[in-house]
Amino acid sequence: MSDTATDSSTEAVADDGIDRKLLLGRPHQHHGMLWLTASIVLFAIFLVSYSLVTNPRFEWGVVFGWFSSERLFTGLLRTLGLTAISMVVGIVVGVILALARLAPNFIIAGVAAFLVWIFRGVPVFVQLLFWGFIAAIYPRIAIGIPFGPEFFSVDANVLITPFLAAILGLGLNEGAYKSEIVRAGLLSVNRGQTEAAKALGMRRFTILWRIVLPQAMKIIIPPTGNQTISMLKTTSLVSVLAFPELLYSAQLVYSANFKTIPLLIAASLWYLLVTSILSLGQFYIERHYNRGSGKTDQLRNFPRFSKTLRSRPPKQEVQS
C-alpha cells in the first residue's frame, strides 16, 4: 500500500462538498488588477463629485433653499400620507383577494383571479387617469335598488376628488400585487400543520391567525417593505391628477421661477432621504422575522468557517 498526498490548493471540491478553491482562492491572485480597478472607480467618483460641486448650473444654493422650504415640506407630508393610506388599502385588498383565490369555491376564486389580472395588467398611470376621469363614464354615483328607487346620489366629480382618485388607483394596483405576495406566503406553510390544527378542533380563522400567518410573515414581510418603498416613488405619478404631493409641488414652483433642475434635485433629495429611512426600517424588520432561521448565524460565522477550512490539513488518499 502507498500513500499519496493531494495538495489542498489544487483540490477543487472537498469531501464535504465545499468548493475550497472557489471559496478561498489565492491570497495574491489578481492583486494588482483589483487595485487598478479600485483606482479607476475612485477616479471616476472624484470626477463626478468635482463636476457636481463646480458646475454652477446645478445652483446648489437654490436647491437647498427650496429643500427646506415649507412648500416642498407640505408636499412631502402629503406624499407620506398618500403612501401610508394606499399601502393600507393595498394590504386589505390584497389579503381579501389572496384568501378569495384560495377559497374552495371556483366562482369566488375565479372572480378574485380576474380582478388581480385586471389591476395588475393595466399600468398604474392609466388607472390613475381612469379614476380621475370617472365622471365621463358615470356622471352621478347612486345607491339604491336595481331598477328601483335611489336612496343616495352624488355628483362623481364631487365624490371622486383627486386625492380619492389617487388612493383608488394606487391602492387597488397595490392590492393586486399584494395578493400574490400574501398567497405565496400562505402556500409556503406546510399543509400538515393546518390538518393537525383541524384535527385538534381549531376553527379556520383561528388556524389562519395563530398557525399560518405567523409562519407566512417571513415570506410576506420582505416584499412588503420593497412595495412600500416603491409606493413612495410611485406617488409621483399622482401629479397627473393635479394633487399637490411632493413632485407636483416642485412643478408648481419651477413653473413660476423657471428653476426646473434645482427644484427636481430638491424633490429627489427628499425621496432619497425617506427611502433610506424606510430601507433601514425594512432591514430591522426582516432581521426580526428571520430570527431562528439560521441565515443570520451562517453569515455571521462565515469568516470563522473559512478560517477553519484554511487550517484543515491536506486530504490524504490511500491507494492500494
pLDDT in tens, 128-137: 999 999 988 8
pLDDT at 5: 45
Widest distance between CA atoms in the chain: 102
Q: Which of 279, 250, 255 is nearest to 267 (CA)?
A: 250
Q: Which residues pair with 5 in a beta bridge?
A: 316
CATH of 76-241, one of 2.40.70.10, 3.40.50.720, 1.10.3720.10, 3.40.50.300: 1.10.3720.10
In angstroms, the first-to-last Cα distance of the chain is: 5
Please state the pTM of the whole predicted model.
Answer: 0.75
String of DSSP letters for 7-74: -TTS--S-TTS--HHHHH--TTTTHHHHHHHHHHHHHHHHHHHHHHHH-GGG-HHHHHHHHT-HHHHH
Residues 210-249: pLDDT tens digits? 888 878 888 888 888 899 999 999 999 999 999 999 999 9
Amino acid at 11: E
Q: How far apart are CA 81 and CA 239, in angstroms?
A: 15
Q: Tell whether the model's pLDDT for residue 1 goes beyond 80.
A: no
Q: Which three cell numbers stand for residue 165?
A: 382618485
Classify 175 as helix, strand or coil.
Answer: helix
Q: In terms of C-beta density within 10 A (0-12 exposed, 13-18 middle, 19 or more buried), how is residue 122 classed?
A: middle
- What count of other Cβ atoms lies within 10 Å of the Cβ of residue 166? 25
Residue spans per domain, the chain: 76-241
Residues 136-166: pLDDT tens digits? 888 888 887 777 777 778 888 888 999 999 9
**Dihedral of CA 63/68/73/74: which sign?**
negative
Classify 122 as helix, strand or coil.
Answer: coil
Residues 256-298: pLDDT tens digits? 999 999 999 999 999 999 999 999 988 888 887 777 655 544 4
pLDDT at 87: 95
The H or E element containing residue 318 is strand 316-319
Q: How far apart are CA 247 and CA 79, in angstroms?
A: 9
**Dihedral of CA 215/217/219/222: which sign?**
negative
Residues 63-88: pLDDT tens digits? 999 999 999 999 999 999 999 999 99
Query: 213-234 vs 260-289: helix axis angle to the nearest 10?
Result: 180
Q: Tell whether the model's pLDDT for residue 21 goes beyond 70.
A: no
Q: Mean pLDDT for the chain? A: 82
